[in-house]
Amino acid sequence: MTKFRVSETMKEMMASYYLEAKNAAYNNIPVAWITSGGPVEFLHAMGVIPVYPENYAPMCSITRVSKDLIEVSEAAGYSSDLCSYARTDIGADMTQGGPIMGLPKPDMLIVGTNICHTVVKWFDVHARKYNVPLFIIDMPYLHDGMTKEAINYVVKQFESFKVFLSGVLKKRFDEEKFRETLFLAAQVSGLWEKVLAMGKKKPSPINSFDTFIHLAPIVTLRGTQRAVDYYTQFYDELVELNTQGFGSVPDEKIRLLWDNLPIWYKIKYLSEFFAKHKAAFVVSTYTNSWAAIQGDIDTDHALEELARAYLSPYINRDFKYRIEYLVKLIEEFSLDGIVFHSDRSCKPYSLGQYMIKEEVTKRTGKPGLIIEADMNDPRVFSDAQFETRAEAFLEGYEK
Amino acid sequence: MKYFAGIDVGSLTAKAVVIDENGKILGYHIQPIGQDSLVAGMNAYQKALTIPGLKREDVSSIVSTGYSRKRFTEASSQKTEISCHAKGISVLFPAVRTLIDVGGQDSKAIKISKDGRVLDFAMNDKCAAGTGRFVEVMANVLNLSLNGLSDSALSFKNELTLSSTCTVFGESEVVSLLSQGQNVPDISWAIIKSIADRIVALAKRVGIENDVAMSGGMAKNKALVSRLEEKLECKILVAEEPQIMGALGAALIAKG
């Protein structure tokens, strides 16, 4: 993984974010647990600290404690077929384990269903345990493209969400602060898009293993000035590196796309494995999902624009859309192929990958590789089996 | 004359092939892995060399393949068994476009281009179902050799079904079929059908295009090959010694 100047800044920023969250109760600041695709802008507008079990679970995975936490939740009766983020998070909550000894106690729970429906039941478990209100925003799967009906449906729920927040927090919804937050969120989203677009450069100064890590601030802190400052610095650094001809993978020969979530507990190993074979992941469908809010957000139609953004992640789109999107990325990023992580835990992401792979290869002539693994459960990954598949795939590029 | 070698150190057996600069097979050897894959690989290599009476210094270049390929430091390069099987088969049968390889721990379906390159492949997931190991475990329960299981299956009378694809559950299912008093040939045939179904599903993932060939230890199982031919509705080509295909391909890659 590439060591950037901003890497230290990010570490400090994330540490201070978690410190603020851990001290929230002491400072009388409300905390909400929210899903990765949840509308965090409403929370920032109301001075609530958002906390992400889906950010904490990978932290547990990278620090190699996810297996133990998973075993705790499995022993409590949660099925091993359940999402490994849920199993890690529930295990961490039961034991107050992981790198920051558990997440700060929530005052409310917010769920968006644009990523999956497991989150509904998973957060429901927490709602019962902590006896705090749970607000579910149903963001329907787009079977046939974006529709006015889907947008209106989500807008109506956003309106109720404002009422919910002012009820729980016992204060008026701050429209002025909300507009300000949206403006910042749109800026961050636009900057993230520019950061990711640096992957189009040859060689690419950034790869997906980097963007997986540098994703943390846009997930947790979008809608804040510090996130804007951070990604501005990051983008400037990448531009500078590019002018020096820097490639994040030395002697880049093969340009790939990563599909699905990262395999967190193997991120360093995978980064080194592909770098050794001179293969760079210059784009991923996963990180692209956080570049959805457009830069010049029209604050008069803010809720419609937000609804559109929250409905549009790759994982919430139909297969036809996914195929066309991948074909477009192959063109735009001059890709040589795609690696599909078939993630045991993330069924909505993994469903259809075999068919999508076949169709994309048919249309573009670019090969795909499917790796069977899991984002957070290290018991599912086998080095030898992965290496045979990945090396055979990469041997295909040898002349 | 220059000589080249390919060494395939798989999960259950080590295979070595020595060829000359014209690609002619001069000697080969297959042996069980035992406790140390590196020792088994070296032994297989030594024995293959003695057949044409060559010494290690006579060999210009070695390519290793199989699960333990990286342990074999004497090799000038390492290639995955997928590329090696494709190379081996495309030299023996140039018209082959689909290769089904069923080894001890892996089964794979490989789509091959006209010039012997791998276009696509599919492999079994992290499970012994659909691999040689599955059949080996079942043969042990029936107290049969691998060949014995194949012969027994071909003489079946009644259609039985093994519902489990899992090796562990499959084993207990075979035990209970035996305790019900079912005939061994019928059970053997049920075992063959079970593994064949897994392999057919795998092969269909890459798409079947003629000619179709089969390699790996399980290609020696006549019952399995015949069941696959029936299910895939095509003729399956099998080399005289299908188990050395990976090692042969490795030797051919070493030759360049």
Nearest to A85 by CA among A396, A360, A346: A346
Which region holds residue A372: left if phi is over 0, alpha if psi is between -120 and 50, else beta? beta
**Which residues of chain B does A380 touch, with a Cβ-Cβ cutoff of 8 Å?**
126
- Distance, in Å, from the CA atom of A152 to the CA atom of A160, rounded to the nearest integer, reads 13
Show the DSSP H helices in chain A as ranges: 6-22, 41-45, 53-62, 66-75, 84-95, 118-130, 148-169, 175-197, 208-213, 216-221, 225-243, 267-276, 285-288, 302-311, 319-332, 347-350, 353-364, 383-395
* Minimum distance, in Å, between the CA of residue A396 and any CA atom of chain B: 6
Mean pLDDT of chain B: 92
Query: How high is the pLDDT of residue A295?
Result: 53
Angle ∠(A263,A267,A394) on CA atoms, nearest 5 = 85
* Closest Cα in chain A to B86: A392
Q: In what order do the strands lie in the sheet with B98-102?
A: B118-123, B107-112, B98-102, B212-215, B236-238
CB within 8 Å: A385 and B79: no
Token representation of residue B63: 């390519």
Reported as a single tens digit per residue, the pLDDT across A123-135 is 999 999 999 999 9
**Which residues of chain A does B104 touch, with a Cβ-Cβ cutoff of 8 Å?**
none
* Minimum distance, in Å, between the CA of residue B58 and any CA atom of chain A: 28
CB within 8 Å: B82 and A380: no
Q: Which residue out of A395, A398, A399 would a mutagenesis test of the B interface target, given it has the greatest number of B Cβ atoms within 10 Å?
A: A395
Name every residue in B having a CB less than 8 A away from some CB of A: 67, 79-83, 106, 117-123, 125-126, 205
The CA-atom distances, in angstroms, between A270 and each of A267, A341, A387, B121 are 5, 12, 10, 21
Query: How high is the pLDDT of residue A18?
Result: 95
CB B183: neighbour CB atoms within 10 A?
A: 16
Scan residues 149-168 of A and list those with Cβ closer than 8 Å to B: none
**Which residues of chain A does B79 touch, with a Cβ-Cβ cutoff of 8 Å?**
391, 395
Sign of CA dihedral B232, B235, B239, B240: positive
* Nearest CB partner across the interface for A392, out of B80, B125, B126: B80
Number of A/B CB contacts below 8 angstroms equals: 37
* Minimum distance, in Å, between the CA of residue B3 and any CA atom of chain A: 23
Query: How high is the pLDDT of residue A293?
Result: 67
* Nearest CB partner across the interface for A392, out of B83, B126, B205: B83
Which residue did the predictor score with more confidence, B130 or B215? B215
* Nearest CB partner across the interface for A392, out of B121, B125, B126: B121
Nearest to A339 by CA among A283, A385, A297, A294: A283
The CA-atom distances, in angstroms, between B146 and each of A248, A356, B28, B221, B224 are 51, 39, 21, 7, 11
* Nearest CB partner across the interface for B125, out of A354, A367, A372: A372
Q: Which residues contact A241 (CB under 8 A, 6 or more apart)?
A: A205
Farthest-apart Cα atoms in chain B, separation: 62
Residue B136 clears pLDDT 70, i.e. is over it: yes
CB within 8 Å: B121 and A395: no
Angle between helices A267-276 and A383-395 (to 10 degrees): 30
pTM of the model: 0.91
Strand partners, B18: B5, B27
Reported as a single tens digit per residue, the pLDDT across B82-98 is 999 999 999 999 999 99
3-state secondary structure of A104: coil
The answer, for A296 touching chain B at a CB cutoff of 8 Å, is no
- Distance, in Å, from the CA atom of B41 to the CA atom of B33, rounded to the nearest integer, reads 8
Reported as a single tens digit per residue, the pLDDT across B192-219 is 999 999 999 999 989 999 999 999 989 9
The answer, for A384 touching chain B at a CB cutoff of 8 Å, is yes
**% residues pLDDT > 70 (chain B):** 100
> b/e per residue, A124-148, with b = 16+ CB within 10 A?
ebbbeebebebbbbebeebeeeeee
Intra-chain end-to-end CA distance of chain A, in Å: 28
Residues B97-117 have a mean pLDDT of: 91
Residue with tokens 């400052």: A229
**Which residues of chain B does A392 touch, with a Cβ-Cβ cutoff of 8 Å?**
80-83, 118, 121
ipTM of the complex: 0.83
> b/e per residue, B38-50, with b = 16+ CB within 10 A?
eebbbbbbeebbe
Q: Which residues contact B141 (CB under 8 A, 6 or more apart)?
A: B171, B174, B175, B178
Are B8 and B85 in contact, with CB atoms under 8 Å apart? no
CB within 8 Å: A380 and B126: yes
- Distance, in Å, from the CA atom of A393 to the CA atom of B80, rounded to the nearest integer, reads 9
**Which residues of chain A does B83 touch, with a Cβ-Cβ cutoff of 8 Å?**
392, 395-396
* Closest Cα in chain B to A385: B126
CB within 8 Å: A388 and B67: yes
Query: How high is the pLDDT of residue B105?
Result: 82
User: Per this entry, what is the length of chain A?
Assistant: 399
- Distance, in Å, from the CA atom of A354 to the CA atom of A351, rounded to the nearest integer, reads 8
Nearest to B100 by CA among B8, B208, B194: B208
Question: Which residues in chain A show pLDDT less than 70?
Answer: 293-299
Query: How high is the pLDDT of residue A196?
Result: 96
**Which residues of chain B does A354 touch, with a Cβ-Cβ cutoff of 8 Å?**
205
Confidence of residue B170 (pLDDT cuts 50, 70, 90): confident
Any idea which of A177-191, B17-31, B156-170 has the lowest mean pLDDT?
A: B156-170
